[in-house]
Amino acid sequence: MSEHPVTPDPDAVLIGDGMTGGYGSGADILHDCTIAVDKGQIAVIVGPNGAGKSTAMKAVFGMLNLRKGQVRLNGEDITALTPQARVAKGMGFVPQTNNIFPSMTVEENLEMGAFIREDDYRDTMDQIYDLFPILKDKRRQAAGELSGGQRQQVAVGRALMTKPSVLMLDEPTAGVSPIVMDELFDRIIEIARTGISILMVEQNARQALEIAHKGYVLVQGANRFTDTGQALLADPEVRRSFLGG
């Protein structure tokens, strides 16, 4: 089990390296926190409530004032870039709430995701419909009429329309049934197999670590444990403290 400090793989697609900071002029929430994800891999951030999990992901996406640390995407230092500029560089971000346009149709939601594309995006839309067949069936329906799990598919699909190299998901399975959670995780595995790196924050720690190549256990904004998902699941201290035995 690697305790602090975490040395990220220099070839990682995305690295939030030694991040310290908080919102506005408030107190620091993150303390020398490091998160990285390799190409086509799934990295999961878990930990107790208030551990700074979503804050760590938002820091990587540029929604936080970092006092120390650096964010690198495909080897480029993007620490100073706005979230919008990060999307143009290849980041997709799906927030936990307000992540769709409810009055627009499913297809219009996906088209909104292609706002930065200058090229023909029909192929990408077809790939998303292959990934989420229910969205193809309901493409003319208002997204707000869909079930929670289907709305989450719309949100993920919309983020994929920009053809990101990294897809970041903030609690993608919040409030959905176990069956829907399993299905979303299956789709996330499929997305990673296409070469897209996935970074996600997840309350369902055990299930998320099952599919994770890399797991980060955060406590009070700092790295507590970092290892493969399987190693963390097998670690007695992690199980006792964070996975309910």
Stated pTM of the model:
0.93
Q: What is the pLDDT along the chain (245 residues), one digit of tens a residue?
A: 444 457 767 779 999 999 999 988 889 999 999 999 999 999 999 999 889 999 999 999 999 989 999 999 999 999 999 999 999 999 999 999 889 999 999 999 999 999 888 899 999 999 999 999 999 999 999 999 999 999 999 999 999 999 999 999 999 999 899 999 999 999 999 999 999 999 999 999 999 999 999 999 999 999 999 999 999 999 999 999 998 76
Query: What is the rounded distance in angstroms from the CA atom of residue 67 to the CA atom of residue 185?
Result: 34
- For the domain spanning 1-86+208-245, the CATH number is 3.40.50.300
Query: What is the rounded distance in angstroms from the CA atom of residue 195 to the CA atom of residue 57?
Result: 20
pLDDT of residue 141: 98
State the distance between the two ends of the chain, measured CA to CA, in whole angstroms: 17
Residue type, 169: L
Report domain extents, the chain. 1-86+208-245
Query: What is the rounded distance in angstroms from the CA atom of residue 234 to the CA atom of residue 4?
Result: 19
Query: What is the rounded distance in angstroms from the CA atom of residue 231 to the CA atom of residue 39?
Result: 20
